[in-house]
Amino acid sequence: MNILAIGAHPDDIEFGCGGTLIKYARKGHNVFLLVLTMGSVGGDPGLRKREQEEAVKFMKARRVFWGNFQDTEIPLSKELISVIEDAVNEAKPHTVFFNYLDDIHQDHRILAQAAVSATRYLKEVLYYEVPTTQNFEPDVFVNITDALDKKLELLKLHASQVDKTRVEDLTILESARSCANFRGYQGRVKYAEGFKALRILKDI
C-alpha cells in the first residue's frame, strides 16, 4: 500500500503523522512525502532540506518530493494544486495526510485548501495537526505507543527546530509527547496521533 503525507515545511509531517508513517513503513508499506517549502523563514534552507532528507531515511520512506515554493508565500493557485496532483500521480497513494484547514499559519491553510482539490478522487484523505492548528477535533486515532520513541528521534533530526516553539522552556519534543498523550487518552491508549477524516471509504 502506498501512503502520501504532505507538509508545508520540513518537520510538519513528522509532528502531525510521523508515528503513523513509521508504523506504515515497519509493515512494509511505501511512504512518500511532499514538502512544499524548505522552511527558509525558520532557518537556513539548505540545512532544513538536509534535516528533512535525513528524516526521510530514518522513517524508511521511499521518496520526498519538493514543491519549491517560498516559505510564508505559498500561493493558492492552479500551480500549487498541480504540484500536489503530480505527487499524487507519482505516489499513487491509498491514503493521504495533510495539514488542517483551520490554522494560524497561512501556508498550512493554503496547502489544505489546495490539497482538498488535488485529492478529490482519492478514497482515504485525513488531516493532521501541528502546534499552530486550531479547533481540531479528531475522529480517527492511530495508536503510536510502540512508535513514540522513534517519533521523538525523528523530530530530533530537525535539530534546528527543536527549540523553536516560541514558548519559553518548551521543546518540540515535549510538545509532541504531550499531544500524543492527550490524543492517546481520547483514543483510549497511552499515546496516539489524532486525525480528522475528510473522507474514508470502507469496503466491507
Q: Return the pLDDT at 164.
A: 78
Helix axis angle, 148-156 to 45-58, nearest 10°: 150
Question: What is the number of structural domains in the chain?
Answer: 1
pLDDT of residue 28: 98
Helix axes 172-187, 12-26, angle to 10 degrees: 60
- What does the mean pLDDT of the chain come to? 96
What integer pLDDT is reported at residue 125 of this predicted model?
Answer: 99
Contact between 134 and 98 under an 8 Å Cβ cutoff? The reply is no
Where in 38-159 does DSSP place strands (E)? 63-69, 95-99, 124-128, 140-143
Task: Please state the rounded mean pLDDT for residues 16-35.
Answer: 98
Chain segment 102-117, per-residue pLDDT in tens: 999 999 999 999 999 9
Q: Work out the average pLDDT over 149-169.
A: 89
Cell of 160: 534546528
DSSP state of 69: E
C-alpha cell at 21: 508513517
Q: Supply the pLDDT for residue 15.
A: 97
Rounded CA-CA distance 2/31 in Å is: 6
pLDDT reading at 41 higher than 90? no
CB 73 within 8 A of CB 98: no
Residue 26 pLDDT class (50, 70, 90 cuts): very high
Structural domain boundaries enclosing 174: 2-200
**Whether pLDDT at 163 is above 90:** no
CATH number, residue 108 = 3.40.50.10320
Per-residue confidence (pLDDT) for residue 69, from 0 to 100: 96
Give the model's pLDDT for residue 6. 99
The pLDDT, as a whole number, for residue 165 is 78
pTM above 0.85, yes or no: yes
Distance CA 94, CA 85 (A): 14
Q: Cell for 108?
A: 498550512
Which tens digits make up the pLDDT trace of 165-190? 788 888 989 999 999 999 999 999 99
% of the chain with per-residue pLDDT over 70: 100
Q: Is the dihedral of CA 74, 80, 85, 87 positive or negative?
A: negative
